[in-house]
């Protein structure tokens, strides 16, 4: 199993005719993702990788059953594209756009909540269930990183995720589903909001959390463990332990403000509820072993 | 983008918020013409972007012309190389209030934060007396409703006359928050004067970097930056911070760069600069190296593990940059991710010795930096 996306999830690609859109659609399909159609206004009638293109999401869903929408849409057009997908009744949306205006991201998250939908991103590589399917831009063919297994990975980062996941795989583990919530100050969906899905997923034995300084998403995960929502083992790696205070270093959301968001605070919150925090990416695998997480 | 106090105050004024009488000067001899306009006593306020100006001695309250002259001499010769000063009337106030609007990423709303115990460090107050801070969520689809502003203003136990003004101020401040795509708009202190007027004693306005395309009003010029490297990085939209250590970082991926920064410190090294050329900037290796070479470092460390940012493109860019710029210091590369095999080949052909493990690359850089010292 996996969460959010598997080999049966029916995916529409918004922005499918663009350079990134067509490139990654090809890879999504090659990996096994059920891409059923695409949308680009004015391009209806074209085929991309054999999939029909429509002028609007409404038109697409008249012709196809769609469960999830993958957006390869520029940041300034993302809010509109998300609203279009939500209006069409799509409940799973992934946007990789890097540069979505902050106030629009607030409105996107608000709208997603109201529609009871999940918007993943922006500023992320997306979601991947290795060897099953992906929505996003992962080089899934690098098998020392994207290997199937029983570890759920949640991250705010792209490159750092490759770094850490490579260490998970090196230790003999693999990934059930990897979710990049994104590096923006207001992600569409937050770490803790995925925990109930990981909790239910019989093939996820533990979680690796790749966080960093700033915000409170790591603390929210600790709260979910505290209140019993999530009971599986957690190993975390958090970047920015030695980062200077008051400087924006790393992602836009990665800043220590109001005395909150330091890596020390996050380590404290997580270790208090029994999670283990790796000081370096290399130690993540060892800590999974220490928590007696089985290898498949 | 963070605005200077004087810029934020101009925005406030434009929105109808009263600011103190003031003159902005950028030459020492302009003080004499500023003083008659603002009167004495007055406040000399250094226009720098860092917080804690009062504690750092960058704000001076002066009562006489002599002390104004001596203070402005001191500040113009300050080691921070401050370029602009706001000469401002000293406001006679009876109370100081804290007001800000920011976003609440969890609730996905805007958040109005008010405390009638302003002026002091609000972060300390948040810890010691959180009950003295009032927060109101604002649904950004509808904006701050008049009734909400009303409710908060009249909940502050202020004289009715002041509450009425406060209500108007909240609405004006929210209009600034929206118009300027603000991450944060803050007035601390907001003075309540003896005759119950409100005057913004300070101004903080941070514009969301992702919205700068529609906020072109506040272009920066080189004099706003401490050095050329910082200025050029900002023009290119490349995240860059200069430190005073040995290793120049040129990495791709915000989280990875931060992690490499940590590991350098764990391994006993120091960082000369943070530079991140990932995401949309991954084709800017040449420019990135040019900026790194402007920083006095002993070694440049390049670590990447890209997805969309392709390793071969970055490797080509780096090799090209080395050929053109002929760096005067060693370069350590650790380039992985999409198309990493091609990337490795490109680097080896160019005579580099690519490393495949982040920690190993960091240790090599730390060693080279020590050897060069």
The CATH H-level superfamily of B93-217 is ATP-grasp fold, B domain (3.30.470.20)
- The B residues from 220 to 259 touching A (CB cutoff 8 Å) are 239, 241, 251-259
**What ipTM was reported for this prediction?**
0.93
pLDDT at A10: 98
**Nearest-neighbour CA in chain A from B276: distance (Å):** 8
pLDDT band at A252 (very low <50, low <70, confident <90, very high): low
pLDDT at residue B120 greater than cutoff 70: no
**A251 included as an active-site residue:** yes
Mean of pLDDT over chain A: 95
Read off the pLDDT of each residue in B117-133 and give the average, rounded to a whole number.
79
pLDDT at residue B36 greater than cutoff 80: yes
Q: Are the Cβ atoms of B359 and A282 closer than 8 angstroms? A: yes
Q: Which CATH fold would you assign to the domain B228-372? A: Rossmann fold (3.40.50)
**Burial degree of B79 (CB within 10 A; 0-12, 13-18, 19+):** exposed
**Nearest-neighbour CA in chain B from A292: distance (Å):** 26
- Stretch among A81-90, A161-170, B278-287, B337-346 having the lowest mean pLDDT: B278-287
- Pick from A142, A157, A247: which is nearest to B241 by CB? A247
Q: What are the pLDDT digits (tens) for A125-137? A: 999 999 999 999 9
Nearest residue on chain B to A249, alpha-carbon basis: B258
Fold: same for B93-217 and B228-372: no
Question: Both tokens of residue A285?
Answer: 């695998």
- Stretch among A25-34, B168-177, B190-199, B220-229 having the lowest mean pLDDT: B220-229
In angstroms, the Cα distances linking B342 to B42, B309, B312, B315, B338 are 65, 14, 6, 9, 9
Percentage of chain B lying above the pLDDT 70 cut: 100
In angstroms, the Cα distances linking B218 to A106, A258, B193 are 24, 26, 31
The C-alpha atoms of residue A278 and residue A195 are separated, in whole angstroms, by 20
Reply yes or no on domain B21-89 having CATH 3.30.1490.20. Answer: yes
Q: How many CB atoms lie within 10 A of CB B39?
A: 10
Read off the pLDDT of each residue in B181-192 and give the average, rounded to a whole number.
96
Read off the pLDDT of each residue in A263-291 and give the average, rounded to a whole number.
96
| The B59-62 sheet, strands edge to edge | B22-25, B85-89, B42-46, B59-62
Which one of B100, B105, B113 makes the best mutation probe of the A interface by having the most chain A beta carbons within 10 Å? Answer: B105
Read off the pLDDT of each residue in A133-145 and give the average, rounded to a whole number.
93
Question: Both tokens of residue B34?
Answer: 């500023």
**Nearest-neighbour CA in chain B from A63: distance (Å):** 31
Domains detected in chain A: 1-123 (3.40.50.720), 142-296 (3.40.50.261)
Residue position matching structure tokens 């020492």: B28
The C-alpha atoms of residue A170 and residue A145 are separated, in whole angstroms, by 8
Q: What are the pLDDT digits (tens) for B75-89? A: 999 988 899 999 999
CB-based contact B342:B336 (threshold 8 Å): no
Which one of B108, B126, B272 makes the best mutation probe of the A interface by having the most chain A beta carbons within 10 Å? Answer: B108
The pTM for the full model equals: 0.94
Domain ranges, ordered by start, for chain B:
21-89, 93-217, 228-372
pLDDT band at B200 (very low <50, low <70, confident <90, very high): very high
CA-closest candidate to residue B6, choices B147, B175, B200, B191? B200
pLDDT at A257: 58
Q: Which of A64, A103, A115, A251 is catalytic?
A: A251
The conformation of residue A282, written as its DSSP 8-state character, comes to G
Q: What are the pLDDT digits (tens) for B239-286? A: 999 999 999 999 998 999 999 999 999 999 999 999 999 888 889 999
Read off the pLDDT of each residue in A211-218 and give the average, rounded to a whole number.
93
pLDDT band at B117 (very low <50, low <70, confident <90, very high): confident
pLDDT at residue A187 greater than cutoff 90: yes
φ, ψ of residue A146 in degrees (nearest 5)? -100, 75
């Amino acid at each position: 199993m996996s969460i959010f996306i598997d080999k049966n999830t029916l995916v529409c690609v918004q922005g499918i005719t663009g350079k990134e859109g067509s490139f990654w659609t090809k890879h999504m399909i090659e990996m096994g993702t059920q891409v059923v159609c695409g949308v680009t206004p004015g391009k209806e009638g074209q085929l991309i990788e054999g999939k029909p293109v429509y002028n609007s999401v409404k038109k697409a869903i008249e012709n196809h059953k769609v469960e999830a929408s993958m957006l390869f849409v520029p940041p300034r057009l993302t809010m509109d594209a998300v609203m279009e997908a939500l209006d069409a009744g799509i409940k799973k949306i992934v946007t990789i756009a890097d540069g979505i205006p902050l106030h629009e991201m607030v409105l996107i998250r608000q709208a997603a909540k109201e529609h009871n939908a999940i918007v993943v991103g922006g500023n992320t590589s997306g979601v991947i269930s290795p060897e099953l399917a992906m929505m996003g831009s992962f080089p899934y063919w690098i098998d020392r990183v994207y290997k199937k297994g029983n570890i759920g990975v949640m991250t705010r980062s792209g490159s750092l995720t490759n770094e850490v996941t490579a260490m998970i795989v090196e230790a003999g583990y693999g990934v059930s589903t990897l979710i990049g919530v994104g590096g923006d100050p207001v992600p569409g969906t937050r770490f803790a909001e995925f925990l109930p899905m990981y909790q239910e997923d019989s093939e996820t034995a533990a979680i690796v959390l790749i966080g960093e300084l700033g915000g409170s998403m790591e603390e929210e995960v600790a709260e979910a463990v505290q209140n019993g929502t999530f009971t599986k083992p957690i190993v975390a790696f958090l970047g920015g332990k030695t980062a200077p205070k008051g400087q924006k270093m790393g992602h836009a959301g990665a800043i220590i403000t109001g005395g909150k968001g330091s890596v020390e605070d996050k380590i404290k919150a997580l270790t208090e509820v029994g999670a283990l925090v790796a000081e370096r990416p290399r130690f993540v695998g060892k800590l999974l072993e220490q928590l007696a997480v089985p290898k498949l | 983008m963070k605005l200077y106090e004087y810029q934020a105050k101009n925005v406030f004024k434009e929105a109808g918020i009263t600011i103190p009488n003031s003159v902005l000067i950028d030459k020492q001899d302009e003080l004499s013409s500023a003083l008659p306009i603002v009167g004495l006593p007055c406040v000399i306020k250094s226009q720098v972007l860092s917080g804690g100006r009062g504690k750092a001695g960058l704000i001076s309250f002066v009562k006489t012309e002599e002390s104004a002259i001596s203070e402005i001499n001191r500040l113009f010769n300050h080691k921070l190389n401050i370029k602009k000063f706001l000469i401002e009337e000293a406001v006679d106030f009876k109370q100081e209030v804290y007001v800000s609007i920011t976003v609440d990423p969890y609730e996905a709303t805007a958040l109005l934060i008010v405390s009638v115990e302003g002026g002091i460090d609000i972060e300390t107050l948040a810890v010691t007396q959180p009950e003295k801070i009032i927060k109101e969520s604002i649904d950004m689809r509808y904006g701050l409703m008049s009734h909400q502003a009303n409710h908060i203003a009249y909940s502050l136990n202020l004289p009715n006359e002041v509450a009425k003004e406060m209500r108007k101020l909240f609405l004006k401040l929210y209009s600034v928050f929206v118009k300027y795509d603000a991450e944060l708009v803050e007035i601390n202190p907001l003075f309540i004067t003896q005759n119950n007027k409100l005057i913004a004693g300070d101004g903080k306005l941070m514009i969301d970097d992702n919205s700068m395309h529609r906020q072109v009003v506040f272009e920066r010029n080189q004099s706003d930056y401490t050095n050329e490297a910082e200025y050029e990085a900002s023009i290119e939209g490349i995240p860059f911070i200069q430190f005073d250590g040995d290793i120049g970082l040129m990495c791709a991926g915000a989280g990875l760069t931060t992690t490499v920064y940590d590991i350098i410190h764990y391994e006993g090294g120091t960082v000369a600069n943070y530079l991140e050329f990932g995401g949309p900037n991954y084709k800017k290796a040449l420019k990135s190296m040019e900026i790194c070479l402007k920083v006095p470092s002993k070694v440049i460390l390049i670590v990447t593990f890209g997805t969309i940012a392709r390793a071969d493109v970055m490797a080509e860019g780096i090799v090209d940059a080395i050929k053109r710029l002929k760096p005067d210091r060693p370069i350590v590369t650790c380039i992985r991710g999409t198309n990493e095999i091609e990337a490795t080949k490109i680097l080896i052909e160019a005579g580099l010795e690519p490393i495949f493990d982040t920690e190993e690359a960091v240790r090599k850089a730390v060693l080279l930096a020590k050897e060069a010292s």
